[in-house]
Structure 1
Amino acid sequence: WILHVDGSSNTKGSGVGIILEGPNDMMLELAIKFDFQATNNQAEYEALLVGLRLAKDVGVKKLRCCSDSKLITEQVGGSYQTKEPQLQRYNLMVSHLTSSFDHFQIEHISRAQNVRADLLSKLASTKRPGQHKTIIQETISTPNYDSVAVLANNPSQPSWISSTWQYLTDDQVEYVMNEIHRGICGMHSRARSMAARVIRVGYYWPTMRSDWKAYVQKCKACQEFGNLHQLPATTLHSMQSAWPFEWWGMDILGPFPIARGQLKFLIVGIDYFTKWIEAEPSAKITAVNVQRFTWKKIICRYGLPQAITTDNGKQFVDKKF
């Protein structure tokens, strides 16, 4: 299998173009627009990640990836060192995905050899909000004024759109929805993700998005255990401290990219009155490390606080702490 990827970033937006070519002239094309600002290098990495996930979902075992970004191909190949923290995280995700293939190779090609993926990425980056996402491609062999032109409203003559209307029946729709949402490989994803997965495996029906939305709303497991806000809206209350270093808030951030000494977490404390921040990197987030941070960074410097607010994590509810 051959994967062509390209990312585009301009003043109108950012997007990626992906082309996956397989045996028997099989070709999958994707044009995806970002709803967030991205640099050129970030867009190139996003294109590579989307392409790798697509190849993994299709079941590809041997993959050759082509990109016109010299930086990305050399960083993924190991010839260039990745110094920027954001690109380091991208590089780590790419390494994790490529490990699922039996054979993976990435090579740099010229922009002239990557024209199709480049056009798809520019098409996605210039898409306006609210526009339809369907792209119909067809070759017209004769001018429309020619007498032998095919009319779309002629039922006796085959049309280029005939194969598009091979929808699933109602029973088949129900089976596909159950299998993808809560089958052996189901993850109880949301409606938009489910619709994308249906299209990816080759199924389609006209009311697909609205059906998925209604299906997810009726799923008992999604309503009981989904990440939804069940509490009613209430008025926000400000947290006020009477004097400096009386009331602290503490939390643990991470994991971040691994630094020297295997440091990848950050223990943070902030005073509610002065907004003063105390922070300390840590390799492990244990109750002992949190206790040592509290004693060394807060109590020994500013005295015993009257209150410490936490999220009741295991490290903060430990008896020793």
Structure 2
Amino acid sequence: MKASAPKPKWSDVSAMCSTTKSYWAQWDSLLIQDGVLWRKWENGQGDRCHLQMVVPKVKVPDVLQLYHSGCSGGHLGVKRTLLKIRERFYWVHCRDDVEDWCRKHTSCAVVKGPQICSRGALKMYNVGAPWERIAIDVAGPFSESESCNKYFMVVMYYFTKWPEVFTIPNQETSTVADKLVHEVFCRFGVPLEIRSDQGRNFEFQIFQETCRVMDNHKTRTTTTHNLME
């Protein structure tokens, strides 16, 4: 190219490495200015073209350090780092090198943290017989119905995973306790244990008194635990 020679024949480069073959395939897009090899790059629409400096392999780490880890880099991700580099530079397997650099860079890994959020160990919650334990929760508010109800009270039987859903106008303690007694306890009996979240409607005196009078044991889950799992 320096001697303005024509493009080499395939037979001249067929035995060479993949990098050489890649540059050979882009021969018409390459040019030399002031002793520097450049590559003409067009955007996808073909309405903009600019020059990218072809980076020698030995200088690739310097570019990666500058555009990802340097003062102007900011430890960006693969996509944004690649976009910044391609504005000025080009080399074969650029994307692979950027991905490898971002993955292995220690400072970047420390800032971003682990890919998988740690979770507490799951524990089995065994139920030995029907109606031994139930879960209760209230969802809402929703749009008010014709019957002036805005909430759903959900009761789940742990042994069979059978759910029952009741509409209620509010989530006051007296409302929840009344619905639970008349719609659940009177139909199926009193379970040995009830589990609920830590909502205020399950903690006040009326609901606790209902549990005491009917001789059943009340427990609580943690705030973020899903009762219906």
Tell me the TM-score normalized by structure 1.
0.33
Bigger Cα Rg: 2
* Greater RCO, CA 8 A, separation 6+: 1
Tell me the TM-score normalized by structure 2.
0.43
